[in-house]
Chain A
Amino acid sequence: MTSSPSDGLGWQRLDRRMLVVHPAVDLIKLVPVLLVIAITGGTSDDRWRLGGGIALAVAVLAFGISRWFTTSYRIGTDRVELRTGLLRRHHRSVHRDRIRTADLTANPAHRLFGLAVVRVGTGRREGGDDAELTLDAVRRVEAERLRALLLGEAPVDADAPVPELARLRWTWVRFAPLTFSAIAVVGVVWLGLFRLAEEFSLRAPVTETLREGAGRAPVWLGAVALLATAVFGAAVVFVEGWWGYRLTRADDGGLVLRRGLLTRRTLSLEGRRLRGVELDEPLLVRLGRGARPLALTTGLRADGQGEHVGAVGPAMPRRRAHQVAAGVLGVGEEEGTRAPLVRHPRAAVVRRLTRGVGPVLVVCAVLLARPEAPADPVVVPILLGASVLLAVDRIRSLGHALTGTHLVSRHGAWVRRTVVLRRGGVIGWRLTQSLTQRRAGLVTLHAVTAAGRGRYEVLDVGVDRALELVEDVTPGLLAPFVIDGRGAGRLVRR
C-alpha cells in the first residue's frame, strides 16, 4: 500500500511499484543467460532456442510479479510478521521486544522509484543464523516511519537539528588508496579485464602487442598504470561507499549512520547495544596519519563480507577519528581512545623482540648458510631491519589503561588496534599463560564481551596487574582464588 493505516493490524502489501522493480531487476540478471542462449549453438533448430528464451523470460517476469501478490507483512502490537512464497509459503514472525536493528538500504533500482528495503534484525547470533526479516521494498517515507516505530524512536524529522558526530570531508579520499580494500579492488579489476580479453579471444593479439611494446615501453610505465588504477579504483569505491556520510546521535544514545552513493544505507545502532569503540590503524593508513573508527555493538556480526560492519566512518585523519570515537562513547578523548596508557612489564618488551626478530634471524641464518645466493647482502639487512622496526613499533603500541568507565587496550603493528570497552560490557574473562609467558611472569587477559569479535585481549601483562584489572572491573569474582604467591611467575599454583 502506498499509504498505510497507522499501526494497522491488517496485512499490508509491499509498495505497488515493486510490481515493476522486481521483474525488471530479475530480467536484467537474466540478460547474460539470454545472451548465451542467443550466441551458442547454431546447428540446432533456431525456433526452439527463441521459444525457450522467451519462455524463460516470461517465467521470470511472472515470478517477479507473483512476489508482490504473495508477500505481505503486518506490524502488530507485539510482533512483526512476514508472509512470503508462492508454492512454499513461509511465515516468519519476530517479537518486537527482540528487535535490535532496523536498517534501510536502497539500491539504484529502488532509488529510482523512491523505495527502500527495511531489514529487521534481532541481533542474536545463536547458531550463526541471525533471525532477520526483510521488507523488499516499501516507500522511502514508510521505511523511515517503520524504522522509527520498530526501534521505538520518535519519527525522524529531517529538518530538526540532530547532534552530529561526523560528516564527510572530501580530503579523506586520500586515505582510500592506503586501505587493503583498494588493493583488492585493483586485483579484481585487472583480473576482470584479463578474463574479458580472454573471453573475446583477444588474448593472442594482446600478448603479441605486449611483447612488441615491451621492447619500447619502460617498466615504470606498467607500475604507474597499476598504481593509477589502484588510486582511481580506491577513490571510486570510497565515493560509492561513503558519499553523503553522516553520523548522528539518536535520542536513545545510539547512533544513526547514513552513507552510500548508488546504494543508500541507513544503519542504526541502538544505544543500549553499544559496548565501546575500536580505533584501527593499518600500517599504511597510520603512516598517512589516519585511523578508522569502529563501534563495538552486540548483534553486529564480526564477519561482514569485505566490509567492516561495525565501521562508523571511513579512514580519516587520526585527530578526527579520536573525536568521533569520543563522541560515540560519550566521554572525553582523554577517557577514551586517547587515555594515557600503562606500559607493560619489561618482560613483555623483551617478548616482542624475541617473537618478532627471532624467526627472521633463523630465516637469515638459513639464507646465509646457502652458498649460492647472490641476493643475500640485500635481502638479509632488509629483512632484519624491517623485523626490528616492526618489533619496536609493537613495543611502542603495547599498552592498556583502566579509566573510570572503560577498559582500554592497544597493541599491534600491521594493524594497530585501540579497543575501548565499557566496564559493564565485560561478561566474562579468560586468562591464558603459555610456557614462555609463565617463565617471564606474564599472562594474557581476555575480556569476554557480547559485542564485536567476542573477546578483546590485553597482551602480556604481569600476573598481579591482570588480577588487579579483573578485581577492578568485576569486584569479588576472583577473590576466593587469590593467594599469596610472592616471587612466582605462575598464574596458578597446582
Chain B
Amino acid sequence: MTTPEPGASRLRAPAHRVSPRARSWWALRSAITTVGLLVPQVAVAVVLPTYTSLMIVTGVATAVVGVAHMLVVPRWRYALHRWEITDDAVHTLSGWLRLEWRIAPISRVQTVDTDRGPLQRAFGLSSVTVTTASASGALTIDGLDADAAVDLADRLTRVTETLGGDAT
C-alpha cells in the first residue's frame, strides 16, 4: 500500500453514543437469530435420523458462530456508533472496516420518525430516522434511550417546521 498523503485536518468523532442498553438489545437480537437458525436443524436431526450426525456438526458450528457474534458485535457497534446534532446538521458515524459518516443539514430534513419494535420496547429503547428528499439520504440512529429519542425527534421536528420550504 502507498504512504498516506500528508493531511492537515480530519474529523473528531461525534459526541454521543447510543444508550448502553442497546448492547443488550443487539445481543438478544443476535441470540434470537441464532436460535431461529438452530430450530430447523434440531427438527431435521430428530425427524430424519440419517442426517443426525451432519446436523450435529452444522448445529455446533452455528452455535459457536452465533455466540461469538452475540458477544463481540454488540460491543463493537456500541463502541463505533456515534451521533451528534449541531445547529446546522444531523451527523451519524458508523462502520468498523468501512467508516461511514452521514450528514443531513437540518434545513433539508423532511421527516423525523421514531420507531420502537417489541424488543426495543422491552429495553426502553427507540430508533430515530431522519429522512431528506433524496432516495438515499435517510439517517438512522438505532438504540437510543426512548425518552431521549422522543425529545430528539421533537426538537428536530420543531426546528424543521420553522424553516419551511420543500427541502429539495
Q: Give residues of chain A (435-456) contacting chain B, Cβ–Cβ below 8 Å.
A: 435-436, 438-442, 448-450, 453-455
**Chain A: CB-nearest residue to B101:** A431
Task: Count contacts between A and B, CB distance < 8 Å.
Answer: 152
B10 close to A428 (CB less than 8 A): no
B4 close to A489 (CB less than 8 A): yes
B residues near A439, Cβ cutoff 8 Å: 1-2, 4
B residues near A483, Cβ cutoff 8 Å: 9-12
User: Contacts A346-B2, A492-B13, A494-B13: A485 and B101 contacting too (C-beta < 8 A)?
Assistant: no
Q: Give residues of chain A (469-494) contacting chain B, Cβ–Cβ below 8 Å.
A: 470, 474, 476-478, 480-494
B7 close to A298 (CB less than 8 A): no
B residues near A434, Cβ cutoff 8 Å: 97-98
User: Contacts A125-B135, A434-B97, A439-B1: A476 and B88 contacting too (C-beta < 8 A)?
Assistant: yes
Q: Give residues of chain B (1-48) contacting chain A, Cβ–Cβ below 8 Å.
A: 1-2, 4-14
Q: Does B167 contact A (CB under 8 A)?
A: yes
> Which one of B53-61, B62-70, B102-110, B117-125 is at the interface?
B102-110
B residues near A490, Cβ cutoff 8 Å: 10
B residues near A484, Cβ cutoff 8 Å: 8-9
Bound form: Cα–Cα A347–B6 in Å? 12
**Chain B: CB-nearest residue to A476:** B88
A residues near B11, Cβ cutoff 8 Å: 467, 478, 481-483, 491-493
Q: Does A182 contact B (CB under 8 A)?
A: no
Q: Does A121 contact B (CB under 8 A)?
A: no
B86 close to A428 (CB less than 8 A): no
Taking residues whose C-beta sits less than 8 angstroms from the other chain, chain A's interface range is 35 or more
User: Contacts A434-B97, A454-B136: A350 and B2 contacting too (C-beta < 8 A)?
Assistant: yes
**Chain A: CB-nearest residue to B107:** A427
B residues near A448, Cβ cutoff 8 Å: 104, 132, 134, 136-137
Q: Give residues of chain A (341-365) contacting chain B, Cβ–Cβ below 8 Å.
A: 345-347, 350
B99 to chain A minimum Cβ distance, whole angstroms, is 5
User: Contacts A427-B133, A438-B99: A477 and B14 contacting too (C-beta < 8 A)?
Assistant: no
B residues near A462, Cβ cutoff 8 Å: 5, 7
Q: Does B50 contact A (CB under 8 A)?
A: no
B4 close to A430 (CB less than 8 A): no
A427 close to B7 (CB less than 8 A): no
Bound form: Cα–Cα A474–B167 in Å? 15
Query: Contact partner of B7 among A125, A476, A489, CB < 8 A?
Result: A489
Q: Does A71 contact B (CB under 8 A)?
A: no
One digit per residue, 1 when the CB lies within 8 angstroms of any chain A CB and 0 when it does not, for chain B 137-168 equals 10000000000000000000000000000011
A residues near B98, Cβ cutoff 8 Å: 432-435
A467 close to B4 (CB less than 8 A): no
B residues near A455, Cβ cutoff 8 Å: 134, 136-137
A441 close to B4 (CB less than 8 A): yes
User: Contacts A450-B132, A491-B10, A493-B12: A345 and B5 contacting too (C-beta < 8 A)?
Assistant: yes
A349 to chain B minimum Cβ distance, whole angstroms, is 9
B residues near A60, Cβ cutoff 8 Å: none
B7 close to A487 (CB less than 8 A): yes
Q: Does B115 contact A (CB under 8 A)?
A: no
A428 close to B7 (CB less than 8 A): no
B83 to chain A minimum Cβ distance, whole angstroms, is 12
B4 close to A428 (CB less than 8 A): no
User: Contacts A346-B2, A483-B10: A428 and B88 contacting too (C-beta < 8 A)?
Assistant: no
Q: Does A463 contact B (CB under 8 A)?
A: yes
Most buried by A among B5, B6, B103: B5
Bound form: Cα–Cα A493–B1 in Å? 21
A485 close to B10 (CB less than 8 A): yes
- The residues of A with any CB-CB pair to B shorter than 8 Å are 125, 273, 298, 302, 345-347, 350, 427-436, 438-442, 448-450, 453-455, 462-464, 467, 470, 474, 476-478, 480-494
A sample of 16 more A-B contacts (CB under 8 A), given A302-B135, A440-B2, A493-B12, is: A273-B168, A347-B4, A428-B105, A428-B134, A440-B1, A464-B7, A470-B103, A477-B89, A481-B12, A481-B14, A482-B9, A485-B10, A488-B7, A490-B10, A492-B93, A493-B13
> Could you list 26 A-B pairs, sorted by A, with CB under 8 Å?
A346-B2, A346-B5, A427-B104, A429-B102, A430-B103, A431-B103, A432-B99, A433-B99, A441-B5, A441-B7, A454-B134, A454-B135, A454-B136, A470-B103, A476-B88, A477-B105, A478-B103, A481-B91, A484-B8, A486-B8, A489-B4, A491-B99, A491-B101, A492-B11, A492-B93, A493-B10
- Which 9 A-B residue pairings sit nearest by Cβ, starting from the closest? A489-B4, A441-B4, A485-B10, A454-B135, A450-B133, A454-B136, A427-B108, A450-B168, A429-B103
